Amino acid sequence: MDTQTGPARLDQRIESLRARLPAGQFILLMRVFNACLAGGSDVSRLHLTPQEQELFTPEVRGEIVALLGLALPGTHGTPLRAA
């Protein structure tokens, strides 16, 4: 039985991603995740550089949606609009 709270699961997932992803990709993931929390899922407004766009892989998008699902219970994540 999973007894962790939402915030604890979110923290655990973020730490797992920090350990698993290359630093640049993790930083981008957190930047986009925080932007989504603050103002929606339109990634194009972040003005990603060509290098950042390359790092913004389907895996990163999926992890952001998963993090949003943990951060915003009941939403099951938010679809991201492409950069």
25-62 residue pLDDT tens: 999 999 999 988 887 666 667 888 999 999 999 999 99
- Please state whether the predicted TM-score (pTM) of the whole model is above 0.85: no
Q: Are 64 and 80 in contact (CB under 8 A)?
A: yes
Whether the pLDDT of residue 13 is over 70: the answer is yes
* Token pair recorded at residue 8: 């604890």
Question: In the predicted model, is pLDDT for residue 1 greater than 50?
Answer: no
- Can you state the angle between helices 58-71 and 6-20, rounded to 10 degrees? 160
